[in-house]
Amino acid sequence: MVAAVSLQNVHKVYNNTCVVNDLSLAIHPGEIFGLLGPNGAGKSTTIRMLTTLAQQTQGHIVVAGYDVTQQPAQVRSKIGVVLQQVSVDADLTVWENMEFHGRMHHIPAAQRQADIRQWLGYVGLSDRTQDKAKTLSGGMKRRLQIARALLHRPSILFLDEPTVGLDPQTRRRLWEIILELNREQGMTMLLTTHYMEEVEYLCDRIGIMDQGRLIESGTLSELRQKHGEGLVMKQQSATGDAAADNRWEYLFFPTLAEANQYLDQQPDKTGMMTRPANLEDIFVELTGRNLD
């Protein structure tokens, strides 16, 4: 199977600092791949290289069958991008934002009009076509960004923190839009996010970056099997330091039953508990940091 997105031994150096370090990664056609990492891990730089906004210092990147360095125009014709920053033109109407994007991609007029109606309907903005973008809520602006990114019918969609700052209900609505696009349109997606539950709900596979390197990848099930499905949590001894006293020690076990067995064998169970391990536990174990 030819990868939809392929990075081979990619490096990116800024001011003598290597922010992406020997990154190799393949994303399969039709899958949603979640990329996690602490701030400064290199996620945004990776997205910028994949979307032709930055050029790698070393290595080879192919997106939708095209080399990002040698064929950037062809890459851009095949991808849609939804950035964390709101990038719609506030003084244009919803329709005008879509119309401008369609013209930039040279979509013929009749097709452009039909596609604008289709995608605005898809994201639930058909009744706001003549409203200026600055009058929309944050969630509506993000939905407009998604509709605009889909207008030229890309085969790959890059979503960089698409739900940051949104209320839970709006975030869930965007999750359903993302899943529908993947299931009904077969669209390949690369998602970066700070919400662990978002990755668990949406992503087929997960990659974890730290200090510019890909340190782990696989399905959630594979990661839990590898690092442990059961967890014993033990509260650290009181020190008088309020922050330190809220910290926990985590012990991973292959199964929850083995974690429970370990707990049962402890003579003093004070401050101890067991539960199934989740993605955040694995992330903290690998990086030593919470995702914030």
Q: What mean pLDDT comes out for the span 185-205?
A: 93
Over 70: is that where the pLDDT of 290 sits? no
Beta bridge partners of 26: 6
The answer, yes or no, to whether residue 170 has pLDDT greater than 60, is yes
Q: pLDDT at residue 43 above 70?
A: yes
Q: Examine the pLDDT at 292 and tell me if it is beyond 70.
A: no
Give the model's pLDDT for residue 130: 97
Q: Which structure tokens are listed for 85?
A: 């920053």
210 phi/psi in degrees, rounded to 5: -155, 130
Query: Strand, helix or coil at 132?
Result: strand
- Report pLDDT for 30: 96
Give dist(CA 34, CA 13) in Å, integer. 24
283: confidence class by pLDDT, cuts 50, 70, 90 = very high
> How would residue 24 be classed by pLDDT, with cut points 50, 70 and 90?
very high
Cα distances (Å, whole numbers) of residue 137 to 90, 119, 142, 180: 12, 18, 9, 22
CA 290 to CA 280: how far, in whole Å?
Answer: 8
Burial of 190 by CB count in 10 Å (0-12 exposed, 13-18 middle, 19+ buried)? buried
Output the pLDDT for position 149. 93
Smallest Cα–Cα separation from 207: which of 5, 2, 67?
5
Number of other CB atoms surrounding residue 169 within 10 Å: 8
Strand partners, 61: 7
Distance, CA of 248 to CA of 273 (rounded, Å)? 10
pLDDT of residue 241: 57
Structure tokens at 270: 């004070």
pLDDT tens-digit map of 255-279: 999 999 999 999 999 999 999 999 9
What domains sit in the chain, N to C, each tagged with a CATH number? 5-223 (3.40.50.300), 229-276 (no CATH)
Which pLDDT does position 9 carry in this prediction? 97
Contact status, residue 33 vs residue 7, Cβ threshold 8 Å? no
Mean pLDDT of 37-46: 90
The overall average pLDDT reported for the chain is 91
Q: Is the pLDDT of residue 245 over 80?
A: no
Q: Dump pLDDT digits (tens) for 80-107.
A: 999 888 889 999 999 999 999 999 999 9
pLDDT per residue as tens digits for the range 200-222: 999 999 999 999 999 999 999 99
| Token reading at 254 | 């292959």
Walk across the sheet containing 58-63 and list its strands: 17-27, 5-14, 58-63, 66-67
Q: Is 3 helix (H, G, I), strand (E, B) or coil?
A: coil
Q: What is the pLDDT of residues 4-16, one digit of tens each?
A: 999 999 999 999 9
pLDDT at 287: 87
Give the model confidence (pLDDT) of 122-169 as tens digits.
999 999 999 999 999 988 998 999 999 999 999 999 999 888 888 888
Which letter does DSSP use for residue 238 in this model?
Answer: P
Residue 1 pLDDT more than 90? no
**Coil vs helix vs strand at 272:** strand
Interval 247-257: pLDDT, tens: 788 899 999 99
